[in-house]
């Protein structure tokens, strides 16, 4: 059975459609009006090996916040749908991702219990750039709607672009590991992962 998810979400602030295939080849078509967000999602798709289509628009004349947060919500929801009953998945994933002078460690658990640890200092970029706060808002929506425990630790580095690349590549690599099918049982002694 194909592990695919489709989510459509329309509010007064955003209009988003996402399709994902967890058993893909890392193919993507990302269309948002935020170029750097597109770049991060392309990296996520390529390194997770998930096929990903995103078409999103929103009130960016106000701020990027609504579109960034709602895209995270929709991506988390789409992955949760694609995982179905979660039987046989590895559940845990890890990565230690270098990006030039940056090293980012990711640990995650598809636990049904959303929690974000974001040990990354606020580093300001160029005026109008995609910021650390934007990524954090995206990830809050993402973990809350996927039911993911996610720990992100910046070990070192100071280039904002490199840090964000390390984060999104690392999450892709760790999720690729966590969604692998290893058996037929639910990976929980409780007998349930929400």
Q: What is the pLDDT of residues 107-121, one digit of tens each?
A: 999 999 999 999 998
Cα-Cα-Cα-Cα dihedral sign, residues 34, 106, 49, 157 = positive
Q: What is the pLDDT of residues 9-36, one digit of tens each?
A: 999 999 999 999 999 999 999 999 999 9
Across 108-127, b (16+ Cβ under 10 Å) vs e yields: bbbbbebebebebeeeebee
Select the more confidently predicted residue: 129 or 145.
145
On the question of pLDDT at 104 being above 80, the answer is: yes
The secondary structure of residue 49, as a DSSP letter, is T
162/104 Cα distance (integer angstroms): 10
Q: What is the pLDDT of residues 146-177, one digit of tens each?
A: 999 999 999 999 998 999 999 999 999 999 99
Residue 150: closest CA among 75, 49, 51: 75
Residue 121 has a pLDDT of: 85
Mean pLDDT of the chain: 93
Residue 175 has a pLDDT of: 98
The percent of residues in the chain predicted with pLDDT above 70, rounded, is: 95
Select the more confidently predicted residue: 125 or 110.
110
The stretch 138-142 carries a mean pLDDT of 97
CB-count burial class (<10 Å; 0-12, 13-18, 19+) for 191: exposed
């Amino acid at each position: 059975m194909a592990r695919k998810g489709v989510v459509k979400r329309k509010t007064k602030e955003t209009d988003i459609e996402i399709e994902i295939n967890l058993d893909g080849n890392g193919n993507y078509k990302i269309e948002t009006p935020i170029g750097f967000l597109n770049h991060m999602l392309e990296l996520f798709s390529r390194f997770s090996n998930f096929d990903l289509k995103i078409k999103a628009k929103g009130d960016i004349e106000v701020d990027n916040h609504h579109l960034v947060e709602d895209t995270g919500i929709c991506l988390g929801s789409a992955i949760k749908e694609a995982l179905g009953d979660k039987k046989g998945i590895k559940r845990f994933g890890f990565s230690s991702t270098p990006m030039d002078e940056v090293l980012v460690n990711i640990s995650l658990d598809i636990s049904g219990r959303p929690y974000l640890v974001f040990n990354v200092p606020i580093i300001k970029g160029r005026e109008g750039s995609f910021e650390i706060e934007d990524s954090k808002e995206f990830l809050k929506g993402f973990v809350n709607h996927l039911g993911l425990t996610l720990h992100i630790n910046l070990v070192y580095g100071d280039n904002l672009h490199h840090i964000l690349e390390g984060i999104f590549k690392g999450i892709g690599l760790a999720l690729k590991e966590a969604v692998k099918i290893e058996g037929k049982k639910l990976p929980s002694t409780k007998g349930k992962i929400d």
